[in-house]
Amino acid sequence: MDIGGILFLALLSTVAILMLLHELDMRLIAGYMAVADIAISFLVLIFTAGTISGLMIGAITGLFLSLYLRWYRRTNGFSRFRIIVEGEEKIGFFTHKKRRLERVEFDPVPKS
């Protein structure tokens, strides 16, 4: 397969993965960008393994996804979860801390 076909298939698979990711909360995925980037790139490499051109498609798709996630995080911001400890509760011999998750939103990087 020539380089044009590899780039086309990499771009096509990147668009397909991004369509699936945008069905989820994209700001939350951008908040945990390193974990999402490594996991998605690894899965794409595994799914396309078998031939050299398949591995090239997977690697280029991972590169496109990394660039898109970085761009999305800078332009649209991101959100993360924060653990809030509210107090302690005694259960028998054990002390249990009451925790809850709170979502924190971060705005995009200002343009200077």
- Condensed to tens digits (0 to 9), the pLDDT of residues 17-50 reads 999 999 988 888 989 989 999 998 899 888 888 8
Percent of the chain, pLDDT > 70? 99
Percent of the chain, pLDDT > 90? 34
Which whole number is the average pLDDT over 10-16? 94
Structure tokens at 28: 């939350």
Q: In this predicted structure, what is the pLDDT of residue 4? A: 92
Reported as type and span, the H/E element at residue 32 is none
Whether 58 is in a domain gets the answer yes
Whether 51 is in a domain gets the answer yes
Other Cβ atoms within 10 Å of 38 Cβ, number: 12
Instruction: Report the C-alpha dihedral over residues 29, 58, 70, 78, rounded to 10 degrees.
Output: 0
Domain count, the chain: 1
Evaluate if residue 73 carries a pLDDT over 80.
yes
Whether 112 is in a domain gets the answer no
For residue 49, the 8-state DSSP code is T
Whether 95 is in a domain gets the answer no
Q: The domain containing residue 63 runs over which residues?
A: 3-78
pLDDT range class, residue 91, cuts 50, 70, 90: confident
Q: In this predicted structure, what is the pLDDT of residue 18? A: 93
Whether 16 is in a domain gets the answer yes
Pairing of strands 78-91, 94-106: antiparallel
